[in-house]
Amino acid sequence: MCAENNQNWRTEEEAIALASSGGSTGNRQEARDAVASAFRVELGHAMEPGAKVMSADRELRYCLELQRDRIARKNICFTEEFDPGKAPVRSAANNVRSWQDGHYETSWSVGYINHKKTAERDGMKTFKRKDPQSICETIVDVRDGEDVSGDTYCCPNCGAVATIRELQEGCSQCGTSFRMTELYPKVGNYFFVPDPGVSTDPIWKTMIRYGLYSLPVTIPLFSPMILLDQSSTSSLLSLVSPEKWTVPSLSRVIAYIIAMIIMSPIIGYFVWFLSIFFAGFKTLGKETPAALSVGSSRKRFASQMAKISPAYTFETFSSKITTLFRILVFSDSRESLPFNAVKEIGTDFDNVVDCTFHGWMSCKKIKVENNSVYVTGDVFVDTTRDLGDRLKVRSEVYQITAARRTDVPFSTNFSIAKIQCPSCGASFNSFKSKNCPYCGKECEPPKEDWVISDVKNVRKKYLFKRVFWIVVVIAILALSVITTLHSIQTGIR
Ligand SMILES: [Zn+2]
Ligand SMILES: [Zn+2]
């Protein structure tokens, strides 16, 4: 079902140009592909000062800005690199899966990257990660929207003429902000999946690297080979009898070290193989509870929401809620966020400098009450927290309840309006804050949007499940080893 990747652009710059032109080629699939490709480039620069990720929708764009501001305030020098390698193993695939609802078509695009991250600060242990990963993007598009991004609009405040797409971040002449329908297609969410196959290094390089890394362990480990008195019979027992050890000559020690270095690629191969095995084992323990919990969510959400509001597939919904949650995490003025109705959040999120979604969100409960539908789901994330002297990565699960009015009809027809404070008349981005920055007056947020009404950390609940699955896997492995040994023994007899 993998769509043919017939890209009409050759460079990433051309993809960004096409994506930022709003995909006015008339071909929506091409516009979606361009947005996916542009996002992978823009995301790599998102933490640089002043960057605006225009291939992302306004929520995700704002979320990345907030994260950048937090990192800057914590004085962390953060660099991120998405390296597709000199000879990419696989080229990106667009539209690998897609879902349609009453208004949107949501699809996944997958790219393959070597993801390098470093974070530095005086007095802090340098944080370094290099992971071969797949990056999965959720591309949201309207099914039958008119493309107005290239239409011109006259700023009602200063009279400057600009295209609609140029006004997404406000009038460049006078700073007036507009409330407008999102110019789809846009990237609504993204996540990374560990993918050892992405590594662009040839195997011999990996073998040598792992071999050299292991030398501090392997040199002492194999040292009995030269420590042992050559005349003694080489039995296992002589290893534990130090009286049979001799002090080897310098030339023998040098010859031994050289031999170990020459042998290291072979040792490296085994170490590398083991590391992949254990990485897979770790992922299994980490992802199994999430996968089981998500399993039936898509169906449950679809069947129950169809009766209430057919305008959402689970993908569109979970992409939106995850991004709103991340805005909550990175915001320093949560009480003024228009979508935030959580009574008590506390300071749990204040030291988070990175929060990556796992690609899992499960739907637990849907209920309708007082003209609103409440959806409760668990979101699986990896948070990186600033502990002062180091950064710490941890897998966490948050239970989120989101609400939306059921009596407000849904529309994707394009609209644009100047945002004006009813009290002092100033224009400000009411999507980022419901309070006017000039006079402080609270403006009522739009009724048709989702609101986050509760957030709870439910990590402990899943910790137990994770331990349970690790025990189950170890038990199965142990049992199979015992059975094999037993059958070999009976075979010998
Ligand atoms: Zn203007
Ligand atoms: Zn005001």
Distance CA 26, CA 146 (A): 10
Nearest of 56, 105, 66 to residue 340 by alpha carbon: 66
446 belongs to a structural domain: yes
CA angle 124, 130, 135 (to 5 degrees): 120
Nearest of 466, 88, 86 to residue 284 by alpha carbon: 466
Ligand nearest to the CA of 423: 2
Distance from the CA of 347 to the center of ligand 2, in angstroms?
Answer: 29
208 belongs to a structural domain: no
284 belongs to a structural domain: no
326 belongs to a structural domain: yes
Instruction: Write the secondary structure of the chain as one string of H (helix), E (strand) and C (coil).
Output: CCCCCCCCCCCHHHHHHHHHCCCCCCCHHHHHHHHHHHHHHHHCCCCCCCCCCCCECHHHHHHHHHHHHHHHHCCCEEEEEEECCCCCCCCCEEEEEEEECCCEEEEEEEEEEEEEEEEECCCCCCEEEEEEEEEEEEEEEECCCCCCCCCEEECCCCCCEEEHHHHCCCCCCCCCCEEECCCCCEEEEEEEEECHHHCCCCHHHHHHHHHHHHHHHHHHHCCHHHHECCCCCCCHHHHHCHHHECCCCHHHHHHHHHHHHHHHHHHHHHHHHHHHHHHHHHHHHHHHHHHHHHCCHHHHHHHHHHHHCCCCCHHHHHHHHHHHHHHHHHCCCHHHCCCECCCCCCCCCCCEEEEEEEEEEEEEEEEEECCEEEEEEEEEEEEEEECCCCEEEEEEEEEEEEEEECCCCCCCCCCEEECCCCCCCCCCCCCCCCECCCCCCECCCCCCCCEEEEEEECHHHHHHHHHHHHHHHHHHHHHHHHHHHHHHHHHHC
Q: Are 56 and 187 in contact (CB under 8 A)?
A: yes
Ligand nearest to the CA of 166: 1
Ligand nearest to the CA of 424: 2
Distance from the CA of 130 to the center of ligand 2, in angstroms?
Answer: 47
Distance from the CA of 54 to the center of ligand 1, in angstroms?
Answer: 20
Distance from the CA of 425 to the center of ligand 1, in angstroms?
Answer: 14
Distance from the CA of 343 to the center of ligand 2, in angstroms?
Answer: 25
Residue 256: what pLDDT?
A: 85
Distance from the CA of 436 to the center of ligand 2, in angstroms?
Answer: 5
Written as tens digits, the pLDDT of the chain (493 aa) is 333 333 444 456 666 666 665 544 467 888 899 999 999 989 989 999 999 999 999 999 999 999 999 999 999 999 988 877 544 556 788 888 888 877 888 998 988 888 899 999 999 999 999 888 888 899 999 887 677 888 999 999 999 999 999 999 999 999 999 988 889 999 999 988 877 666 656 778 878 888 888 888 888 877 777 776 555 455 555 555 666 667 778 888 888 888 888 888 888 888 877 777 776 666 666 666 666 666 677 778 878 887 777 667 788 888 999 999 999 999 999 999 999 999 888 899 999 999 998 877 888 889 999 889 999 999 989 999 999 999 999 989 999 999 988 888 777 678 888 888 989 999 998 888 989 999 999 888 777 788 999 999 998 888 887 788 788 888 888 888 888 888 877 766 5
Distance from the CA of 275 to the center of ligand 1, in angstroms?
Answer: 57
Distance from the CA of 168 to the center of ligand 2, in angstroms?
Answer: 21
283 belongs to a structural domain: no
401 belongs to a structural domain: yes
424 belongs to a structural domain: yes
Ligand nearest to the CA of 157: 1
- Tokens representing 385 are 């927290």
240 belongs to a structural domain: no
What total of structural domains would you count in the chain? 1
Q: What is the domain range of residue 163?
A: 12-200+295-457
Q: Is the backbone of residue 93 left (phi > 0), alpha (psi -120 to 50) or beta?
A: beta
Distance CA 435, CA 444 (A): 9
